[in-house]
A and B are shown apart, each in its own frame.
Chain A
Amino acid sequence: MEFKQHKLANDLSLIGEVNKSAKSAAVGVFVKTGARDESEQINGVSHFLEHMLFKGTERLSALQVNEAFDRTGADFNAATSEENTFFYARVLPEYLVEVTKLWIELMRPSLRDDDFDIEKNVIKEEIAMYKDLPSFDVMDRCRSLHFDSHPCGNSVLGSEDSITNLTAEQMRDYFAKRYAPNNMVLACAGNFDWGQICSIAEETCGNWQKQDVVRELGHCPGSKKKERIEKPNLAREHICLMSAGVSAQDPRRFAASLLGTIVGDDVGSRFFWELVDKALAEAAVMQFGAMDGTGVFHSYIRCSSENVAKVLEVVKDIFGGLSSGGITKDDLRKAKNKILSSLVIKNELPMGRLLDLGFNWIYLEQYRTVEEDIEAIKAVTVDYVHSLIEQFELGDFTQLSIGP
């Protein structure tokens, strides 16, 4: 593995990790923009814009873009979150240059009115699809409730209304402000030629206009509100709990993710033994999510309406038990083994490597080897996790449930 980096004069970051023995290569464009960077009037624009980037440029129509990707046999797509938009392709090494050129070209899209109008329907279908997925819906709504007036509570998809009212002009304006070179990272991982990628980027991105984009950061302690939404067509109660955690820049993020695993991994965790193993809930998981300048622990629990009170009582006991009794060395050992093996398995694939490479650059402007992450996880002690538990009361959560 060999790390490479280069910054263009306009501040676009290029990074890569070369692994000549890999059978594939992956390329990604990471743009530091998402729902938290939107105002209420244009809520949903980051995600809609992600769709519109596939609609082509002055030179390429939407169909030509899709054909160009498919000619390389790429596994390609994009995703938008509260704070990032991420475009990627996974290809055989011989197609990496072609697919990288294509992504770069698409980063300066036409954003045509007629494409915008048709894609608006697709976005509304996507909103409708997630409405039928309460396990997603409950997390989305709970995030809004938890973050309250903090921009991380903005919905990624936007609402039916905000999308209806959004104009192509507003989207073009947002694009011009956010897709600036200093707000983007072009990353490659796997089997590829770094020199070639650099010269392509110099040649094709060099004329992107330099500008300053900043994001205001602020930690959010969370609203700690509790709400329930009744939906008679549902069969189960879907419960989401959210509480504050450390940020993606905080060295304690490794301890936080170990704590998440101890409390809520899908098997072998406290949630598992107390809720799932005893058949009180059919799903009960907790994860730690590190974000830009803030972070959350979020849990998802699904159970029957009859079991809700009992389930919440058990959850209270689990969180209470953590505060009073802490964790054991054995808890920590098992959680470390699980996280370490996931890390190894994920990073064996160029695509998995690309994700860590890109997001470490977005959040930390830092290259971290897999070994460094392994060492950081191994170094976490029981006392370290205890100080986290003390500072971030898991039991003091925002709660949203949706059920019949």
Chain B
Amino acid sequence: MTERLDKHILKNGMVLLGEPMEAVRSVAFGFMLPGGAARLPDGCCGAGSIITDWIFRGAGDRNSRKLGDALDGLGLHRASSVGSSHIGVGAALENENLSQALDLYADIILEPHLKDDQFELAKQLAIDSVHALDDDPRHKVMLKLREKFYPSPLGRSTLGNIDELTALTAKSTKAIIKDKFNLSETTFAVAGKYDFDAVATQVESLFETGRKKALEPVTLGAKAGKYTHIDSDGAQVHIGLMTETVKPTDEDYYNAMVGVSVLSGGMSTRLFTEVREKRGLCYAIGARYHGLKDAAGIMCYAGTTPENGQETVDCVIGEFNRLSEGISEEEIQRAKVGLKSSLIMQSESSSSRAGGIASDYYMFGRVRSLDEIKSKVEATSVDSVLGFLRDNKFKDFTVVTIGPKEVKVK
């Protein structure tokens, strides 16, 4: 989604991407390292959560405190994340500090100290985050939902589980970092105000090390189940629901996106109107497309008081199924305008563009232009969306609930 794309590939295979933005003073950058939860060895669930903390606890010639102070001194806003396929580390900052920030991030990625005492602290915090999930049922239900919906190991919890986190050692985690911080499969993306020649020269001098190394393929296992309930004495039943749809690379991807928008793109859409506006069942209700490279689904969350749980689930599934029965021209038009507007509005933020070009490159092997996406959205119609929905009827729903009362999934 860009008007101009800068690109350079290092000899070791690392890909550098850039999207210049005229109107901003900020710059955002990120490294996508192939160490996401699905790529971890069995029994190491949650290692990513430890790693994104541990690598910041001292690197290059700076100890943990000095490294933290140096990052803060540049006024940068750190953004680390663990996904299914990648670990992301990056930041947003004012453009004049970019070069110094890249030097620091090279240390963090290539020369982290990985001291044993610091490992124990990072591990404790990772374990605490899993405990804290019990006090955030809305977040927990969606993590569980991914785990149950995707074929193993794609949906593995990015936060991990207590047993496997407890079993991890500094030695085993170091081995994961060594194996997964594979530069030949790493993408670096930058967006905002920058000089690409200068960035490329600097990144090349810092990261042109190591040999090309292919990734091990991920073997997919079975899905974990249809309905899971976790009993909890809360005020609401938190419902997560997901059903299969086409992957981002599928030719019907844009039909699926428009279809999801008719279901839940704005406040006039099906789920909001039927579940909240007409029946007053929920405050929070919404569905969105969730795509990985190897599988994708439509993911829905609803939170409601226990006595309304069953009616909410029935109503939501009813709306999913009703979608292929008919969609009006007006609904399609609203969905298209919504998708195109949010696309353009996202393009104003350097952070969202740096993330966008990196994930496009991973998903599609290239970065889609804004015009390409707009014209593909524009090319959808009532007929194409309905045709897609009728050929790909929603079959199985994976449902997870957390709360004081179970529901029945028909």
Residues of A within 8 A of B (CB): 21-24, 54, 62-63, 66-67, 69-76, 90-92, 95, 118-126, 128-129, 131-135, 232-236, 238, 267-268, 272-273, 276-279, 282-283, 302-304, 330, 333-334, 336-342, 344-345, 348-350
From A21, A70, A232, B338 is in contact (CB under 8 Å) with A70
Closest residue on chain A to residue B74 by CB atoms? A337
* Inter-chain contact A337/B73, CB cutoff 8 Å: yes
Main secondary structure of the interface of A (DSSP, over half): helix
In the complex where A279-B121, A337-B72 touch, is A125 in contact with B277 (Cβ < 8 A)?
A: no
Can you spell out 18 A-B residue pairs with CB atoms less than 8 angstroms apart?
Answer: A21-B23, A23-B344, A73-B334, A74-B266, A76-B267, A118-B277, A123-B283, A125-B308, A132-B234, A132-B236, A133-B135, A135-B136, A233-B234, A235-B134, A235-B135, A268-B68, A345-B77, A348-B349
* Inter-chain contact B73/A333, CB cutoff 8 Å: yes
Write out, one digit per residue, whether chain B residues 267-300 have a CB within 8 A of any chain A CB (1) or not (0): 1110011001111111110000000000000000
Closest residue on chain B to residue A235 by CB atoms? B134
In the complex where A125-B283, A282-B132 touch, is A69 in contact with B266 (Cβ < 8 A)?
A: yes
In the complex where A133-B136, A276-B125 touch, is A334 in contact with B273 (Cβ < 8 A)?
A: no
A339 to B75, CA, bound (A): 7
How many of B's residues come within 8 Å of A, CB to CB?
77
Closest residue on chain A to residue B57 by CB atoms? A277
Chain A residues within an 8 Å CB radius of B267: 54, 66, 69-70, 76
Task: Quote the shortest CB–CB distance from B97 to chain A (angstroms).
Answer: 8
Closest residue on chain A to residue B305 by CB atoms? A128
Residues of B within 8 A of A (CB): 22-26, 57, 64-65, 68-69, 71-78, 92-94, 120-122, 124-125, 128-129, 131-132, 134-138, 232-236, 238, 265-269, 272-273, 276-284, 303-305, 308, 330, 333-334, 337-342, 344-345, 347-351
Contacts A24-B348, A73-B339, A74-B266 known; 14 new A-B pairs at CB < 8 A: A67-B330, A69-B268, A73-B342, A75-B341, A92-B345, A121-B281, A128-B303, A128-B305, A133-B135, A232-B233, A234-B134, A277-B57, A338-B72, A341-B75
In the complex where A23-B344, A70-B334 touch, is A118 in contact with B280 (Cβ < 8 A)?
A: yes
Chain A residues within an 8 Å CB radius of B348: 22-24, 348-350
* Inter-chain contact A129/B303, CB cutoff 8 Å: yes
Chain A residues within an 8 Å CB radius of B235: 128-129, 131-132
Chain B residues within an 8 Å CB radius of A128: 235-236, 303, 305
A25 to B26, CA, bound (A): 19
A118 to B204, CA, bound (A): 61
A333 to B349, CA, bound (A): 26
Task: Quote the shortest CB–CB distance from B291 to chain A (angstroms).
Answer: 21
* Inter-chain contact B25/A344, CB cutoff 8 Å: yes
Closest residue on chain B to residue A265 by CB atoms? B72
Chain A residues within an 8 Å CB radius of B339: 73
In the complex where A92-B345, A273-B65 touch, is A302 in contact with B337 (Cβ < 8 A)?
A: no
From A54, A67, A73, B340 is in contact (CB under 8 Å) with A73
